[in-house]
Amino acid sequence: MANYTIEVFMGDALNAGNANTVFINLIGTKDSSEPQILGHSAEMLCCSKTLTVSCKESLRPFFLVQLELKALELEDHWFCSKVIVTDPEGRQRLFPCYQWLSPKKKTILREATAKLSHKDTEEMAVGHRLEDVAKKCEDFIWSVYDSEIPHIVQVDSASGLPYEVRFSFTKEKEFQHSQLNTSLDLKLNNFHPTNTWNSMEELEDVQWNTPWTHEYIKKHWMTDTFFGYQFLNGSNPMMIKRCSKLPNNFPVTNDMVKSALPKESSLEKEMEKGNIFLCDYARLDGIVGNVIDGIQQYLAAPLCLLFSNPQGKLLPIAIQLKQKPEAQNPIFLPTDSKHDWLLAKLFVRNAEFNEHELNFHLLRTHLLAEVFTMATLRALPSVHPLFKLLFPHIRYTLQINIMARKQLTSAEGIFSTSCAIGLKGMITLMRRATASLTYSSLCLPDNIKERGLENIPHYYYRDDGLKLWNIIHKFVNGVVAHYYTDRHVQEDSELQTWLTEIVEHGFLKNDNSGIPKSFHTVAELVKFVTMLIFTVSAQHAAVNNGQYPFGYYPEELFVEAVPLQKMEQFRQDLKALEGEIEARNKNLELPYDYLNPKNVANSVDL
């Protein structure tokens, strides 16, 4: 007889226990143990339970752990974090679980060692690998929200998601707590959705949980200096690019802007020096505004020219509100009346809101994160090293996106009922943005170079972002290179399927996107995975700001020494960057903290 000691861990998930009976057994290639009653899951809350099972002969070299819930009265769910099995020779093996178990299905766990498919030689291991992917393809099905926008998961509400990708109890409570506080604050301030305000002072009466920057913004929001600063270090540092030649539809002359330039200089000279920059909102051109409460809304598709002066300040020097130059579409200048110039800047900020929220936030982080999540769940078995590496970075993404579609982008959502662009305009803008989506624009070093922003001063998004990119790249390279050679990359059919899903459902097979159609080298794979992790963590923080600490890997998904060592080095590198950013921020009038690692989330979860 061969005796195996099994220790089952609940973890610290609240509400993880229930009244169901838990059965466990070991399944080997030649023999299996009889199912053993582990006990009622409610008895094991926040602890572990140990038992011994016997087999007629050793289960070496490969075996699985099977967990099964059998409902007594109510069909409740139970959370298991991990199982540790000690074999007759005293060797311990970790079987990660970290999911909610349902009475409706059996859960099969594999030992934690990450393996590529060519390393799996046991027939049972190969079978489990295939079954794992097949089951997830049944659970996670693609759906088309719009044929010209990245595809989404086929689920109407969060309750339709498998339990393993839903919010944890603590995350759910965090959302409920935030919503309750917001609701109470609004009620205490006598807020009603139909309220209107006649001044900024009246609006302040209903503001709640104002950030520490509130007083600074209130004081400086009308200034040209703060207007320019936001293009570099505000919530959307992605629109600005260097202007070496004026667009044909933006006929700014030297006489128009000479008062904003140094003496003896000219617009042409400053463009040659690399000091002139442009924000072009052409994607908004022709979109008809929404009708809200019977009132027609209007959208601009402006062009905004900016000058980086010798003092390192970025200042607006010309604004045109529509794309076609004509008599009814003048170019506004800082020398115009105070209110004309301010109104022109407000139209730019309104256009900026639409590009920021719908293109750079929703499309380029949330929707791409959903594509990355779906592809990872559908194409990679849980034993694949890339699945283990990416899982912390796809946590909760599906649920937050389902909630966003209901609350923000549905026919009853905020963009339809309360935003000038409206639902139809939103779809049009997102179609145009998807068509312009490129691989290089998602890779920060390439993006900075393409936009000509290598040398513009005080661009802290660039400075902090590139350092984060390099830290992520170093970490990813260390893990990926441990498992792959170039030949293994080329021969990994699971990996190539994963990429194909991303290309087809995220980039819609757009040949102009520059997205790779296959991987041939470790370097190509490392860059792509770096882009993915950067997009769902750092980039999302830059345009939204997150909640969960970057580099936090609570699940024990890896057991090998190399990836564990790389994770620890990753955390140390992030901590060092955190100190560097905080030291710099002490000397800034308006600190840039969005990409401080302590403020960067692991995944798109908010």
The position carrying tokens 């170039």 is 486
Report pLDDT for 553: 77
Least confident of 91-105, 390-404, 483-497: 91-105
- pLDDT tens digits for 144-157? 999 999 999 999 88
Compute CA 431 distance to the chain's CA centroid, rounded to the nearest angstrom.
20
Q: What is the bridge-based pairing of β-strands 241-242 and 21-28? A: unpaired
Residue 538 · residue 359 · CB < 8 Å: no
Cα separation, 333 vs 256, in Å, equals: 7
Report pLDDT for 79: 83
**Burial, 245: exposed, middle or buried (Cβ in 10 Å; 0-12, 13-18, 19+)?**
exposed
pLDDT class of 163 with cuts at 50, 70, 90: confident
The whole-number average pLDDT for the span 55-76 is 82
Residue 333 · residue 325 · CB < 8 Å: no
**Burial, 559: exposed, middle or buried (Cβ in 10 Å; 0-12, 13-18, 19+)?**
middle
The whole-number average pLDDT for the span 41-64 is 78
pLDDT class of 294 with cuts at 50, 70, 90: very high
Percentage above 90 pLDDT, the chain: 72
The mean pLDDT of the chain is 89
The whole-number average pLDDT for the span 412-422 is 93
Strand partners, 5: 52, 86
Name the residue among 284, 365, 282 with its Cα closest to residue 543: 365
Cα separation, 205 vs 547, in Å, equals: 27
Q: Where are the domains of the chain?
A: 2-111
Least confident of 122-136, 164-178, 442-456, 468-482: 164-178
The whole-number average pLDDT for the span 512-535 is 97
Residue 468 · residue 538 · CB < 8 Å: yes
The whole-number average pLDDT for the span 150-168 is 85
The whole-number average pLDDT for the span 335-363 is 97
- E strand intervals along 424-572: none
The whole-number average pLDDT for the span 247-272 is 96
Cα–Cα distance list, 513 to 148, 364, 419, 474, 497 (Å): 14, 13, 30, 26, 19
Report pLDDT for 22: 86
Report pLDDT for 439: 98
pLDDT class of 114 with cuts at 50, 70, 90: very high
Report pLDDT for 21: 82
For residues 42 and 417, the model is more confident at 417
Q: What pTM, to 2 d.p., does this model score? A: 0.93
Tally the residues of the chain.
Answer: 606
Least confident of 205-219, 442-456, 511-525: 205-219
User: Encoding tokens for residue 276?
Assistant: 């002139």
Least confident of 164-168, 360-364, 414-418, 425-429: 164-168
Compute CA 378 distance to the chain's CA centroid, rounded to the nearest angstrom.
18
The whole-number average pLDDT for the span 202-224 is 76
Least confident of 202-211, 413-422, 466-475: 202-211
Position 184 pLDDT exceeds 50: no
For residues 167 and 395, the model is more confident at 395
Upper half-sphere CA count for residue 197 (Cβ side, 13 Å): 13
pLDDT class of 181 with cuts at 50, 70, 90: very low
Report pLDDT for 188: 47
Report pLDDT for 284: 98
Compute CA 541 distance to the chain's CA centroid, rounded to the nearest angstrom.
8
Give residues with Cβ within 8 angstroms of 363, minimum separation 6.
149, 150, 430, 433, 434, 437
- pLDDT tens digits for 309-334? 999 999 999 999 999 999 999 999 99
- pLDDT tens digits for 448-467? 999 999 999 999 999 999 99
Report pLDDT for 169: 44
Reduce the secondary structure of 476-530 to three states and give it as a string.
HHHHHHHHCCHHHHHHCHHHHHHHHHHHHHCCCCCCCCCCCCCCCCHHHHHHHHH
- E strand intervals along 205-302: 241-242, 276-280, 291-292, 295-296
pLDDT class of 177 with cuts at 50, 70, 90: very low
The whole-number average pLDDT for the span 283-309 is 96
Position 185 pLDDT exceeds 50: no
Residue-wise DSSP of 55-69: ESS--TT-EEEEEEE
Position 575 pLDDT exceeds 50: yes
The whole-number average pLDDT for the span 338-361 is 97
Cα separation, 260 vs 8, in Å, equals: 70
CATH T-level topology, domain 2-111: Lipoxygenase-1 (2.60.60)
Report pLDDT for 18: 57
pLDDT class of 548 with cuts at 50, 70, 90: very low
Calculate the dihedral angle through the C-alpha atoms of 314, 317, 320, 325, rounding to the nearest 10 degrees: -130
Cα separation, 318 vs 341, in Å, equals: 9
For residues 176 and 553, the model is more confident at 553
Q: Say what angle helices 368-379 and 123-139 make with each other, to 10 degrees.
A: 140
Residue-wise DSSP of 133-168: HHHHHHHS-EE-S-TTS--EES-SSGGGS-GGGSPP
Report pLDDT for 71: 72
Position 194 pLDDT exceeds 80: no
Cα separation, 588 vs 580, in Å, equals: 13
Name the residue among 538, 539, 517 with its Cα closest to residue 528: 517
The whole-number average pLDDT for the span 236-240 is 97
User: Encoding tokens for residue 378?
Assistant: 């559908």
Least confident of 43-52, 111-120, 315-324: 43-52
Report pLDDT for 190: 55
Position 72 pLDDT exceeds 70: no
Q: Is 97 helix (H, G, I), strand (E, B) or coil?
A: strand
pLDDT class of 549 with cuts at 50, 70, 90: low
